[in-house]
A and B are shown apart, each in its own frame.
Chain A
Amino acid sequence: MTLPLVVAITVVAGLLTLLGIASTLARRRIGLLHVAGVCLLEALLVVQAVLAGVDLARGDRPVETATFLGYLFGVLLIPVAGGLWARNERTRWAGTVLAVAAAAIGVMVWRLLQLWEATRV
């Protein structure tokens, strides 16, 4: 768990949120740009899960390990679920569906970092 990666994920999630809202405002469904954003976001989250997995295997344990793991793997599901849903949504609200999912990820990674830092308390 590193701060730069969390910041990178937050930036991508933030851009995806804005992009989703833009589609809704423009009365459009989601396009290639959104799909690319979702893929990038999911890739970053997988990298984070792998890095955290390596740290855990080395013996670093956050105080609330179960909660930490719940967030770590739960957050991986959201881009997939949100992305598929938004892709199938034929109304202009597809973008907002994606924006909500992306915003939730932006919040969750910070909670994840907070849980991880509790190792050193």
Chain B
Amino acid sequence: MSDRSALGPAAESSGAPSGGPTRVLVVLYAIFALAAGARAGVQIGTRFSEAPLAYLLSALAAVVYVVATVGLVRGGATGRRTALTAITVELVGVLAVGTLSLADPAAFPDDTVWSGYGSGYGYVPLVLPVLGLLLLRRTRNRSDRTDSPA
């Protein structure tokens, strides 16, 4: 079939402990690090006094996404621990901020990435940490057998 070759050469199998799916997750995290970082930068730079709490949370979210991205990219035991911590903070953050923003909208006059459980971003911020934790669990089981030092 000629259209199959248009899809590219045959793939190599992802034998490394941090396989292909991890890399897809890294792309998602990188995009959210960019989105949350840019949003926090604009909010804090232009109108910090309007909603300091919401904007600081935006900045926190951005930092968490960056740390998670770096942890996932680095891999290994340290990278995995870093990513695990960041993603756990992220999950707690999105649940806490999501709940608070719905329970007490007055405390959040302007939206953050995590407001309404990430409804402004298609709920991806809610799904992302769950996927991340599942994937870390899966790769840990695999790397226990094949992990190399460093």
Contact with A along B108-121 (1 / 0, CB 8 A): 00000000000000
Tell me if A121 counts as interface (CB < 8 A to partner B): no
CB < 8 Å neighbour of B7 from A26, A77, A101: A26
Q: A74-B34, A89-B20, A96-B20 are in contact. Are A67 and B10 (CB under 8 A)?
A: no
- Chain B residues whose CB sits within 8 angstroms of the CB of A29 once the complex forms: 8-11
- Say yes or no: A33 contacts B38, CB within 8 Å: no
Chain B contact patch, size range: 20 to 34
> Whole-angstrom distance between the alpha carbons of A22 and B14 in the complex?
18
Interface residues of B in 13-34 (CB under 8 A from A): 13-14, 19-21, 23-24, 27-28, 30-31, 34
Tell me if B149 counts as interface (CB < 8 A to partner A): no
8 cross-chain pairs, A with B, having the tightest CB-CB distances, nearest first:
A93-B20, A31-B8, A92-B11, A91-B14, A91-B20, A29-B8, A70-B38, A28-B8
B residues near A, CB below 8 A? 4-14, 19-21, 23-24, 27-28, 30-31, 34-35, 38-39, 41-42, 45-46, 122
A residues near B, CB below 8 A? 19, 22-23, 26-34, 64, 66-67, 70-71, 74, 77-78, 81-82, 85, 89-97, 100-101, 104, 107
